[in-house]
Amino acid sequence: MRVAVCQLNSREDRAENLRVARDLLERAAAAGADLAVLPEYVDYLGPGKTAPDPETIDGEFARFFARAARELGIWVHAGSFHEAGPDAEHTYNTTLIFDPGGSLTASYRKIHLYDVEIAGRVSYQESRTVAPGSETVVAEIGGVRTGLSICYDLRFPELYRRLAVEGDARVLVVPAAFMMHTGRDHWEVLLRARAIENQCYVVAAGQIGDHEPGRTCFGRSMVIDPWGTVLAQAPDAIGIVTADLDFSRLEKIRSELPSLANRRL
């Protein structure tokens, strides 16, 4: 399977964000990707007061990426969007997966919400406006079992262990908008750890650059193999990178170093 990670700088102009996303999907298809992965909040990352109205999973956002998948003939992981939530004050942070025919095949609501207070650096309470999901999801993408997560989920290894062991995942996907101050120290370390400890490929697509209000994202979208080797990493710019996933290598690693089989707890 060839995968492409798409790195964006989504801001307050939703139409422009979607135009860039479509362009990157076209580039991914031209590069021979079977699956293209977009980052968290691909359609809008800006001030809350100008945010688009939340949608259902069959709304305009879904129709846009369903059409892209169908016209390009590839699997599309549409990052995430603001799904209409359980009440007027809260949305869900939701991933949608479309097959090459444009059908919605899976969805996932972010479980772990980014409620963080780092003195003098960041104050962010995602739970004020976002409701947490409650279900882990493993999707079949091109016949490959793929575990779904979003951004802050990355810090919770028990989620990925469930995806790999109970869900039999071979690939773990992480769309993100990882902030600069944590990203430069934690992003690659955590991604490689999730790959090594679960003996899975990790495919991580991030936002990059400045976003209103006063937010800077780290970028460095990447693909990592089950040994923890970075196969591809995006430069510090909008664009795509691709990598080929070799599942015979994955099975060889699991056979020679059977850490999943050796678990005691």
Which residues form the catalytic set? 40, 110, 151
Question: Is the CB of residue 149 less than 8 Å from the CB of residue 244?
Answer: no
Those residues whose C-beta lies under 8 Å from the C-beta of residue 101, and which sit 6 or more positions away, are 69, 70
Question: Is the CB of residue 211 less than 8 Å from the CB of residue 217?
Answer: yes
In the DSSP assignment, the letter for residue 48 is G
* Of 61, 67, 6, 71, residue with least CA distance to 35: 6
Sequence length of the chain is: 265
Question: Is the CB of residue 119 less than 8 Å from the CB of residue 150?
Answer: no
Tokens 């490929």 correspond to what residue? 201
In the DSSP assignment, the letter for residue 12 is S
Question: Is the CB of residue 232 less than 8 Å from the CB of residue 240?
Answer: no
* Of 135, 107, 42, 38, residue with least CA distance to 77: 38
Bridge partners (DSSP) of residue 124 are 116
3-state DSSP call for residue 72? helix
DSSP 188-245: HHHHHHHHHHHT-EEEEEEBEEEETTTEEEE---EEE-TTS-EEEE--SSSEEEEEE-
